Amino acid sequence: MKFNKLLILTVVVTLFSCKTNVFTGKKTLNFMSNSQLFPMAFGQYDEFLNTNKVVTGTAEAEMITRTGSKIKTAAQRWLNALGEESYLNGYEWEYNLVDDPTVNAWCMPGGKIVFYTGILPICQDETGVAIVMGHEVAHALANHGGQRMSAGQLQALGAVGVAVGGQVGGLNESTQQILNQAYGLGSQLGGMLPFSRSHETEADKIGLYLAAIAGYNPDEGARLWERMKANSGGGAPPEILSTHPSNDSRIAFLKQLAPQAKAEARKYGVTSFK
């Protein structure tokens, strides 16, 4: 009886927690609202800045702010065209460069952005920064943070369901342990990792469009990832075991996408690219 109630609860929660991605029109699983996510993100962002070396007053720091502002404007223009003028309400955009050799950049829900100095040599110039910036902002715009948290909660709820189901079915401890391990591996390889990879692919597309609308050359997307591949030294895990698509998959996808991004930008009067 407990197992049936848990199963019904899981189905009900899933059905009533779907939201529409305004950029793709796809339904997404998301229990989290901006009013829940943004305060947490802003607090974590401030804590991060307080414990890391923020670079200010340099040409590179100014480039991060300038590029971020252009990507933000591109996002607003796109959203206006989609009839979503108020979509960015509550965003508190902030762009910071942090002195850290890690090859990384990220955008938290609500528009809080960090670039590490370690990624700048791979970006090479402002257009490379825009490609990365567009991708990271796309994660926030598409609510990927809330979706990941929701998927994690659902995965945990499923694990409880497996455990309760085993108890109801009278499984011995050894069999129950095997069942739990199988669920954990199956939900990770068949659910969480593909879910994460789909987010990366979606952010690649939305981000490249944002960069193009902001006036940056989308052809640079594939070139950036060629440099990322070279920097990785070929040490990436197989795609099926990774949270990200393989470098080769991304390069091919971005090459295919670049003409579409240029066509999208032309809708906003952008006909030449930096």
Residues annotated catalytic, as ranges: 136
In three-state form (DSSP H/G/I as H, E/B as E, the rest C), the secondary structure along the chain is: CHHHHHHHHHHHHHHCCEEECCCCCCEEECCCCHHHHHHHHHHHHHHHHHCCCEECCCHHHHHHHHHHHHHHHHHHHHHHHCCCCCCCCCCCCEEEEECCCCCCEEEECCCEEEEEHHHHHHHCCHHHHHHHHHHHHHHHHCCHHHHHHHHHHHHHHHHHHHHHHHHHCCCCHHHHHHHHHHHHHHHHHHHHHHHHHHHHHHHHHHHHHHHHHCCCCCCHHHHHHHHHHHHHCCCCCCHHHCCCCCHHHHHHHHHHHHHHHHHHHHCCCCCCCC
